[in-house]
Amino acid sequence: MINVITLVHGRRNHLANLIQGLESSSVLPNGLWIVHMNEGSGECYSPVFPIHTLQVDDPGGLPLAKARNCVSAIDPAAPWVFLDVDCIPAHDLLAQYCDGLQRQPDALHMGQVRYLPEGANRPGWTEAALHAQGVEHPLARFRTGAGNPLPHHLFWSLNFACTASTFARIGGFDEGYRGYGGEDTDFAFRARHEGVPLLDNPAMAFHQYHPTFDPPLNHFADIVINARRFHGRWGAWPMEGWLRAFQERDLVHWSDERLDIIQPPSAESVAQALNTKRLGF
């Protein structure tokens, strides 16, 4: 038995594809838990597993950490799979996680992701077509095989699994992070501090396209605030590539010890940062 958790704000078509993927799973979930952030709960139904909804609101921005911590309300007897709403799970994703968790229940298990171009998720998609059209993220080169350890700074919450006891040992996600950026790495660093290994798992998900910004100037304020919080705890800076890009645009002054805003990005510069490759990352 295994539970699946996904966070949602919009993206209803993507959510429908996630549910469709789970319905074709070789191991069916005990239930799908949909956590709606800053929006009302939608109507979702599956004939093969129960779907539950929760709602989390925060006027200060998307409460990603708080929404993930809602898992404390979910049956702790079965492990949890955290799957981003943009992801379509492969038919054996849950089976791969069940196998990995059975072998090493006290670890974090991080699955694989292939990124889809725009239009690959149109009605009629098949898993074979998704696999053929999807591309690996460049960081996939650091993976060395199923069950092998991964550096904790490579963790991201797009597709991972753990037991309730492991999540509690780490302490969940820090709800002091608001909006976009930093909370995943903080979670992973606290896992490392608690001696929780991060392990490679072959559980595959296909990331559906949505517009992205490079660098993510649309999340400028959140990234700066969250980076400061992370540095205050760990004495290191997260998201260095993005901070460097902000510095190169004369938006921030960044040193080993300080991160200060010079000026926020203009609406024009945000628009110019839109990624036109349409590959999803």
Return the biggest CA–CA distance within the chain: 55
Residues 209, 180: Cα–Cα separation, whole Å:
18
Position of tokens 């205050």?
232
Q: Which residue stretches of the chain have pLDDT < 50?
A: none
Check residue 281 and give its pLDDT. 61
Q: Supply angle C-alpha 224, 54, 9, rounded to 5.
A: 45
* The model's pTM: 0.94
Tens digit of each residue's pLDDT (9 = 90 or more) over 176-228? 998 888 999 999 999 999 999 999 999 999 999 988 899 999 999 999 999 99
Residues 205, 88: Cα–Cα separation, whole Å:
5
**Neighbouring C-beta atoms of residue 247, cutoff 10 Å:** 15
Three-state secondary-structure class, residue 250: coil
Check residue 206 and give its pLDDT. 97
Check residue 75 and give its pLDDT. 81
CA 178 to chain centre: 15
Check residue 280 and give its pLDDT. 60
Residues 19, 76: Cα–Cα separation, whole Å:
22
* Domains defined for the chain, CATH in brackets: 3-207 (3.90.550.10), 217-272 (no CATH)
Position of tokens 């709602």?
55
